[in-house]
Amino acid sequence: MERVTTFSAYNSVIGNLLQAENNQNQADIQVSSGKVASDLKGFGANAEALTAAQALKTRVDGYVNTAAKVASQLTAQDTALTEVSNAGQNARQAIAQAIASGSSDGLMASLRSAFGQAVDGLNTQYNGSYLFSGSKVTTPPVSTQTLDQLVPPGTVSFNNDQLASSVQLNETTKVPTGMLASTIGTPLFQAFQQVAELNAGASGPLSGPLTSAQQTALTNLLQAFDSANSGLTETVAQNGLVQNQVDTIQATQQQRQIDLTTTIGDMANVDMGQASAQLAQAQTALQASARVFQSLQSTSLLNFLNGTGTLG
């Protein structure tokens, strides 16, 4: 006896065919993209948690990038501060040698060189900005270029403002990263100024054998350079402490970055082995539904009537 497809059976098969096609499309998208879904709707109950994790990772990525930039800046500052500190030590050594030898021959040349070294250090630029100018990053903080410009008294000047920079490295930690040329250099420049005044004053110039007055004055100046150099050593150490703090926080944020990437991946990424198997199953189901659909088409009432003219 011939069987004729009913309307409900036909609709059921069409529904199965469309569902099988949709399942194949979804499985194909997962395999090709490696993601569970292409939009938040497809993540269902995990959508809110995934959105929160992605937002947090964006913030952490920002902290990691900021820490990397700050670390590079602090390294440049360390080099510059060390140069200024070395300038102070060189000046102190030149004076001590002159006192020990009783001769000032070459002393002023050494001091002028040391002063220039200090100026260069304080006028260091990083990525096109002056490190020690505060917010006036396009202005060199030290305009005095030579030791002789330090006389008459009162000509020691710095062009920086008082806005030393600080940086937010995580949700709770903000560290001071900027330093000001006036804070760093004032004691040292005052010591250099006393040397310049001595050389230009009634007891100068400093050339040839040292007089008793020059010996006394230079000996007193050693204390000024010792004090300035002690402050510079502390400044270099302070920069190093900030470097260590930044490195520690950066390492913590990098680990958070890794953990969040893993968490997001667990929620968003598909198991490729499982997805491939589901794709194969979906393709098989689609093929089976298509064959059933074709079979039902050949047994429809319309085809039967067109072929025989009776229900038989």
In whole angstroms, give the CA distance from residue 93 to residue 113. Answer: 13
What would the pLDDT profile of 15-45 be if each residue is shown by its tens digit?
555 665 565 555 555 545 555 555 556 556 6
Residue with more model confidence, 40 or 226: 226
Q: What is the mean pLDDT of the chain?
A: 83
Counted residue by residue, the chain has a size of 312
pLDDT value for 48: 83
* Alpha-carbon separation of residue 26 from 49, 113, 276, 278, 300 (angstroms): 22, 74, 11, 10, 31
pLDDT value for 157: 81
Q: Is 198 exposed, middle or buried (0-12, 13-18, 19+ CB in 10 A)?
A: buried
pLDDT value for 50: 84
Q: How confident is the model at residue 263 (pLDDT cuts 50, 70, 90)?
A: confident
Overall average pLDDT of the 168-181 stretch: 95
Q: Given a cut of 70, is residue 14 above it in pLDDT?
A: no
Q: What pTM was computed for the model?
A: 0.74
In whole angstroms, give the CA distance from residue 63 to residue 248. Answer: 12
DSSP bridge pairs for 103: 209
Q: Given a cut of 60, is residue 99 above it in pLDDT?
A: yes
What percent of the chain clears pLDDT 70, i.e. is strictly above it? 70
Q: Given a cut of 80, is residue 213 above it in pLDDT?
A: yes
What sign does the CA torsion over 37, 38, 41, 43 have? positive
Q: Given a cut of 60, is residue 236 above it in pLDDT?
A: yes
